[in-house]
Amino acid sequence: MLIPLHPLTRLLTLIIMPALLAALLLATGTVLAHGVDDNTRAFLQQNSGMQLMPFIYIGAKHMITGYDHLLFLLGVLFFIFRRREVLLYVSMFTLGHSLTLLLGVLSNIQVNAYLIDAIISLSVVYKGFDNLGGFQRLFGHQPDTRLAVLIFGLFHGFGLATKLQEFQLPDDGLLPNLLAFNLGVELGQLLALLVILGVINLLRSTRLFMPLAVSTNTLLISAGLMLTAYQLTGYILYS
**Please, are residues 128 and 218 in contact by the beta-carbon 8 Å criterion?**
yes
**Please, are residues 93 and 216 in contact by the beta-carbon 8 Å criterion?**
no
| Residue 191 backbone dihedrals phi, psi, to 5 degrees | -60, -45
In terms of pTM, does the model score above 0.95? Answer: no
pLDDT tens track, the chain, 239 positions: 333 444 544 544 454 445 545 544 554 444 444 456 777 777 877 877 889 999 999 999 989 888 889 999 999 999 998 889 999 999 999 999 999 999 999 999 989 999 999 999 999 999 999 999 999 898 888 899 999 999 999 999 999 999 899 888 888 899 999 999 999 999 999 999 999 998 888 888 888 888 888 888 998 998 899 999 999 999 999 87
